[in-house]
A and B are shown apart, each in its own frame.
Chain A
Amino acid sequence: MYLKSTRYPVRFISFVTIIIGMLSSPCAMAAGSVSEKLVVYSVNYPLAYFARRIGGEHVDVHLPVPAGEDPAFWMPDSDTITAYQQADLVLLNGAGYAKWVDRVSLPGRRRVNTSASFRDAYIPVEQSVTHQHGPGGDHSHAGTAFTTWLDFSLAAQHAQSINAAMSRARPAMADVFEANYQKLARDLEKLDREMQRVAGQYADRPMLASHPVYQYLARRYKLNIESVTWEPDVMPDPDEWRMLSRKLQAFPADVMLWERQPLPETRE
């Protein structure tokens, strides 16, 4: 009514509206691209957890390892590798974790080795057999211990790498990511202190572990750990019991670490 009665015809108003609409649409599109969720693929749970804590609602974190599979030794199929290839960020643990990463093609630019900053702190794995064939001379397939996050100070460095990578990928969200990372870092610091307090009660006390995966835990918290290779859901055979008895004579441990509850028969 007002438009009709004034000096501006409706056609002119429509024209101005369209022009304003056209001018604002790139801004809206740009805003849309910034608010688009960052698609993050991780190789293990700790990194996925850190990514979720840091990214919050702004990231879409995927850990496509099927239930019951060990992410360290799992091999994804082609479709899953393609999904990793198309992610905005692929979070790798480094230290030789998830060997499949070395056997597939992933985009270098979007791949983040979250332990690269403390590469010098990797623990080499000993007891590997060397072999020789061809002109290359002796070589072994020895690697490094890879459960780095069991040292909570290193876990915080993993988180810091994730924070930096996410901020590079979404600079507009850097402040949000940094604030979330600070909260996570404080939690990890608290856990580190708590772990040091608990581990202090076991200082120099021989401990056994069901798998050789506690190297970083032992180093950080000064624990005296030796390992066997026992599965929690499998009853060890007589040979393994005999080997344990021999080991206990030289290494009198009365505590054993398991990644989950062992069978009741094994415990007894």
Chain B
Amino acid sequence: MMDSLYIAWRYVTWNRGKSLILIASVTLIAFLPLALQLLLDESEQQLRSRATDTPLLLGAKGSALDLVMNSLYFDDSMPPRIGLDASEQVDASELAYAIPLYMRFRARGFPIVGTSLDYFDFRSLRIGEGRMMTLLGESVIGADVASKLGIGPGDSLVSSPDNLFDIAGVYPLKMKVAGVMERSHGPDDAAVFVDTRTAWIIEGLGHGHQDLARTGDSSVILQKDDDSVTANAKLMQYAEITADNIDSFHFHGDSSIYPLTALIVQANDDKAAALLRGRYQDHDSYQVVRPVDVVDGLLENIFRIKTVIDGVIVIVGLATLLTMVLVFILSLRIRQDEMDTIFRMGCSRMTMARLLLAEIVIIVAASALLCAILLTLVSANSASLVRYLLLS
């Protein structure tokens, strides 16, 4: 058998072009469904684990999928907003505790997530470098943000303008980076976290400016009497919150309607969760969803698509196998003289069959090896590949 393998090996290496094409075809046919399965398993694991860790989400009525994808994976989908009073209502129910989320703005391509410090406890996120944000205007960034932008504690990040062509829109805010989170291998690694009030300042609901009642610069005053002062457009609003100007920052309007995109609702127990879901079942403005249900629905659709892809792969695989058979039959015809010579030298038909079988074994073995290497690479990078291909 070793002799047959050696002669087959010599043949395969002599006809490199043909052998490489065959190896590539077999490799791809084996690799594609296996790699797809690996990535789907990883995406299922990633999607489900985060969804399972998040018991309930409260948001505005609308697409539950947008709400979950935005709140859990910080994707670009923008669910309708809810007011801060929704959070107060949940807390007042004494059935659960609400963690606010407000995700609308970005800084250098990364999502700015407005939340409270409870979020970090909830997700078991720890500071790796620097410290937790303490003052308004400070941020803590995920490990990917730090490594990709090359920034760390003490540096600054500027929020991106809402709309490049809307000159009267949201002012960019320069945010100090207070700390960098330890890598969590999840969407939190690629997020910029700020206090919800900092996000509202970016939104323009809060701002800081010189004290109009005490300013010596009369050119900023349009009108002044005992009860009111009206400033003109010259009044500069601070674009960065510092220790010197933080006292001047204030919010306007009814705080109960300050916007949020979602609430992570931590119910006291299963009974409280059921009661809370019942209360919001027919609510006019809000919905309470179990992220794991929404993600399971999404995965069901993904697996339905996978069945179609599997079918296509089976047909392509069959076509490749038939092509391989054809290649071997044709190569036998081309090698007719070679076969005759071997036959005249005294080799039996069985020996010739063994030679052909050895060639097939070598090609399949080479394909299996290549496929294993590629699958190992995919497997090693499946988490980041899934985040890049499916969840980004």
B228 near A: Cβ within 8 Å? yes
Q: Name the CB-closest residue of A to B178.
A: A78
B277 near A: Cβ within 8 Å? no
A136-B232 Cα distance, complex, nearest whole Å: 13
The answer on a CB contact under 8 Å between A107 and B121 is: yes
A108-B131 Cα distance, complex, nearest whole Å: 18
A133-B116 Cα distance, complex, nearest whole Å: 30
B252 near A: Cβ within 8 Å? yes
B239 near A: Cβ within 8 Å? no
The answer on a CB contact under 8 Å between A105 and B195 is: yes
A141 near B: Cβ within 8 Å? yes
A267 near B: Cβ within 8 Å? no
Which listed residue (A81, A82, A103, A130) contacts B249, Cβ 8 A? A103
CB distance from A222 to the nearest CB of B (A): 30
B157 near A: Cβ within 8 Å? no
CB distance from B71 to the nearest CB of A (A): 17
How many residue pairs, one in A and one in B, have C-beta atoms under 8 Å apart? 78
The answer on a CB contact under 8 Å between B135 and A132 is: no
A129 near B: Cβ within 8 Å? yes
Decide: A138 near B228, CB < 8 A? Known: A85-B134, A105-B195: yes
The answer on a CB contact under 8 Å between A129 and B117 is: no
B65 near A: Cβ within 8 Å? no
A132-B116 Cα distance, complex, nearest whole Å: 30
B357 near A: Cβ within 8 Å? no
Q: Name the CB-closest residue of A to B223.
A: A132
Chain B 61-89 residues near chain A, CB threshold 8 A: none
A136-B247 Cα distance, complex, nearest whole Å: 20
A104 near B: Cβ within 8 Å? yes
A138-B229 Cα distance, complex, nearest whole Å: 9
A151-B116 Cα distance, complex, nearest whole Å: 33
A104-B132 Cα distance, complex, nearest whole Å: 11
A151-B237 Cα distance, complex, nearest whole Å: 40
The contact size tier of chain A is 20 to 34
Q: Per-position contact with A for B122-146: 1 when CB-CB < 8 Å, else 0?
A: 0000000001111110100000000
A188 near B: Cβ within 8 Å? no
The answer on a CB contact under 8 Å between A136 and B212 is: no
Chain A residue contacts of B135, Cβ below 8 A: 78, 81, 103-105
A139 near B: Cβ within 8 Å? yes
The answer on a CB contact under 8 Å between A136 and B252 is: yes
Decide: A103 near B231, CB < 8 A? Known: A78-B131, A82-B131, A108-B118: no
A222-B173 Cα distance, complex, nearest whole Å: 49
The answer on a CB contact under 8 Å between A132 and B252 is: no
A98-B116 Cα distance, complex, nearest whole Å: 19
A108-B266 Cα distance, complex, nearest whole Å: 13
B108 near A: Cβ within 8 Å? no
The answer on a CB contact under 8 Å between A133 and B230 is: yes
Chain B residue contacts of A106, Cβ below 8 A: 117
Decide: A81 near B134, CB < 8 A? Known: A107-B116, A131-B212: yes
Between A and B, 7 residue pairs with Cβ closer than 8 Å are A99-B247, A106-B117, A129-B226, A129-B228, A131-B231, A133-B209, A133-B235
B253 near A: Cβ within 8 Å? yes
A260 near B: Cβ within 8 Å? no
For the complex with contacts A105-B138, A131-B228, A136-B253, 15 further pairs of A-B residues with Cβ separation under 8 Å are: A75-B247, A82-B131, A104-B134, A105-B117, A105-B136, A108-B99, A108-B116, A108-B118, A130-B228, A132-B231, A133-B209, A133-B231, A133-B235, A134-B237, A139-B253
Q: Name the CB-closest residue of A to B234.
A: A133
Chain B residue contacts of A4, Cβ below 8 A: none
Q: Name the CB-closest residue of A to B87.
A: A108
Chain B residue contacts of A78, Cβ below 8 A: 131, 134-135
A242 near B: Cβ within 8 Å? no
CB distance from A203 to the nearest CB of B (A): 33
A99-B250 Cα distance, complex, nearest whole Å: 10
B213 near A: Cβ within 8 Å? yes
A109 near B: Cβ within 8 Å? yes
Chain A 108-143 residues near chain B, CB threshold 8 A: 108-109, 129-134, 136, 138-139, 141
CB distance from B201 to the nearest CB of A (A): 11
B170 near A: Cβ within 8 Å? no
Chain B residue contacts of A131, Cβ below 8 A: 212-213, 228-231
- Which 3 A-B pairs give the minimum distances between C-beta atoms? A133-B231, A81-B134, A131-B229
A85-B119 Cα distance, complex, nearest whole Å: 13
Chain A 59-116 residues near chain B, CB threshold 8 A: 75, 78, 81-82, 85, 99, 102-109
A244-B327 Cα distance, complex, nearest whole Å: 110
Chain B 182-212 residues near chain A, CB threshold 8 A: 195, 197, 209, 212
The answer on a CB contact under 8 Å between B133 and A105 is: yes
Chain B residue contacts of A107, Cβ below 8 A: 116-118, 121
Q: Per-position contact with B for A229-262: 1 when CB-CB < 8 Å, else 0?
A: 0000000000000000000000000000000000
Chain B residue contacts of A130, Cβ below 8 A: 227-229
Chain A residue contacts of B197, Cβ below 8 A: 102
CB distance from B211 to the nearest CB of A (A): 9
Which listed residue (B97, B116, B213, B249) contacts A129, Cβ 8 A? B213
A134-B234 Cα distance, complex, nearest whole Å: 10
Chain A residue contacts of B118, Cβ below 8 A: 107-109
B374 near A: Cβ within 8 Å? no
A141-B99 Cα distance, complex, nearest whole Å: 28
The answer on a CB contact under 8 Å between A133 and B117 is: no
The answer on a CB contact under 8 Å between A109 and B134 is: no
A132-B209 Cα distance, complex, nearest whole Å: 12
The answer on a CB contact under 8 Å between B235 and A82 is: no
Chain B residue contacts of A134, Cβ below 8 A: 235, 237
Decide: A105 near B227, CB < 8 A? Known: A129-B213, A133-B212, A133-B235: no
| Residue in B118, B134, B232 whose Cβ sees the most chain A Cβ within 10 Å | B134
The answer on a CB contact under 8 Å between A132 and B250 is: no
CB distance from B235 to the nearest CB of A (A): 5
B246 near A: Cβ within 8 Å? yes
Q: Name the CB-closest residue of A to B131.
A: A82
Q: Name the CB-closest residue of B to A81.
A: B134
Chain B residue contacts of A132, Cβ below 8 A: 228-231
